[in-house]
Amino acid sequence: MVEITCPSCGRKTELIALEYEIPYFGKILLTSINCGCGFKHNDCIVLGVKEPVRYKMSISSNKLFTKVIRSTSGTIKIPELGVEIEPGPASQAFVTNVEGVLERVRDIVLMAMRWRAEEGDSSAVERCEYILKTIDDVIEGKKELTLVLEDPFGNSLIASEEAEKTNLTPEEVRKLKTGLTVLELSGLSEDEIQS
């Protein structure tokens, strides 16, 4: 344990760091700050060579338990659904699996759907319903989707030999959000479920 200054209240608090072994990838470091003032922050750092990366994998019901590690700088995309979960100021790192990613997308879409329904935007509501139905179909093994995870700092990964790993070009890196700024592309932002 390391003592650090809380970025929120300025008092001393503890940074907890845990090493975690990922098959095929080596070690990652999970860090966690949980200050008495209510400030919380989790992140993860891949130990080893880091470069701007993109992981891409076809996901279906037999991939639900594949581990996904997303650092605060990771962007998750499901191109077929037009879904992007981008880093924002309230972003937290998470270690989950493919099913956990789909559950997060479901939560964000459900919330977006309620807002759009209140606004009377029926075409947006229909699109949300389509996304929710497609997620159910993937979990039930009726459909496949593509999961893309991009990280300009190389701290995120899909832990599967079947995930195709490529390096991001400098232009692609420039277009990615790093967690330092927030912009909404497709109207689905992770901060919406956290605020």
* Positions that interact with Zn ion (CB under 5 A): 6, 8-9, 35, 37, 39
**What element of type H or E holds 54?**
strand 53-59
Q: How far is the CB of 72 from Zn ion (least distance, A)?
A: 18
What's the Cα-to-Cα distance from 162 to each of 37, 57, 137, 179, rounded to whole Å? 43, 7, 21, 28
Q: How far is the CB of 3 from Zn ion (least distance, A)?
A: 12
Q: How far is the CB of 139 from Zn ion (least distance, A)?
A: 39
> Which C-beta is closer to Zn ion: that of 33 or that of 109?
33
> Which C-beta is closer to Zn ion: that of 10 or that of 48?
10
Question: In terms of DSSP H, where are the helices of the chain?
Answer: 98-118, 122-139, 170-175, 191-194
Per the listing, tokens 């209140």 go with: 118
Please report the sign of the dihedral spanned by the C-alpha atoms of residue 56, residue 60, residue 65, residue 71: positive
Q: How far is the CB of 34 from Zn ion (least distance, A)?
A: 9
Token pair listed for 159: 């832990």
> Which C-beta is closer to Zn ion: that of 25 or that of 39?
39
> Which C-beta is closer to Zn ion: that of 2 or that of 110?
2
